[in-house]
Chain A
Amino acid sequence: EVQLLESGGGLVQPGGSLRLSCAASGFTFSSYAMTWVRQAPGKGLEWVSVISGSDENTYYADSVKGRFTISRDNSKNTLFLQMNSLRADDTAVYYCAKVWGRGRASYYGMDVWGQGATVTVSS
Chain B
Amino acid sequence: SYELTQPPSVSVSPGQTARITCSGDALPKQYAYWYQQKPGQAPVLVIYTDNMRPSGIPERFSGSSSGTTVTLTISGVQAEDEADYYCQSADTSGTQGVFGGGTKLTVL
Report if A115-B42 is in contact (Cβ < 8 Å); known contacts: A45-B35, A108-B30: yes
Contact of B48 among A35, A50, A95, A111 (CB under 8 A): A111
Contact yes or no, B43 A45, CB < 8 A? yes
Tell me which of A47, A61, A95, A105 contacts B88 (CB under 8 A).
A47
- Measured between alpha carbons, how far is A111 from B45 in the docked complex, in Å? 6
**Contact between chains at A107 and B94 (CB < 8 Å):** yes
Known: A50-B97, A59-B95. A109 touches B33 (CB 8 A): yes
With contacts A44-B86, A45-B43 taken as known, whether A108 is within 8 angstroms of B97 at the C-beta atoms is yes
* B54 interface residue per 8 A CB criterion: yes
Whether the Cβ atoms of B99 and A109 lie closer than 8 Å is no
A73: interface (CB < 8 Å): no
CB-based nearest B residue for A111: B45
Whether A116 sits at the interface, judged by CB under 8 Å, is yes
* Number of cross-chain contacts by CB at 8 Å: 67
Beta-carbon contact of A100 and B48 below 8 Å:
yes
B98 close to chain A: CB less than 8 A: yes
Specify the main secondary structure of chain B where it touches its partner.
strand
Report the Cα distance A8→B34, complex, angstroms: 28
Q: Which residues of B contact A110 (CB under 8 A)?
A: 33, 43, 45
Q: How many residues of A contact B (CB 8 A)?
A: 24
In the complex the two chains form, is A45's CB within 8 Å of B86's CB?
yes
- Picked from B45, B49, B94, B96, the residue with its CB within 8 Å of the CB of A104 is B94
Mark contacts of B66-97 with chain A using CB atoms, 8 A cut-off: 1 yes-contact digit, 0 otherwise: 00000000000000000010101110001111
State the B residues within 8 Å of A (CB): 1, 30-31, 33, 35, 37, 42-45, 48-49, 54, 84, 86, 88-90, 94-102
Q: What 6 pairs across the A-B complex have the smallest Cβ distances?
A: A47-B97, A113-B42, A109-B33, A44-B102, A45-B99, A108-B90
Question: What are 24 A-B contacts with C-beta separation under 8 Å?
Answer: A35-B97, A37-B43, A37-B99, A44-B100, A45-B88, A45-B99, A47-B88, A47-B97, A47-B98, A61-B96, A61-B97, A95-B43, A100-B45, A100-B48, A100-B54, A104-B94, A108-B31, A108-B90, A108-B94, A108-B97, A110-B43, A111-B45, A113-B43, A115-B42
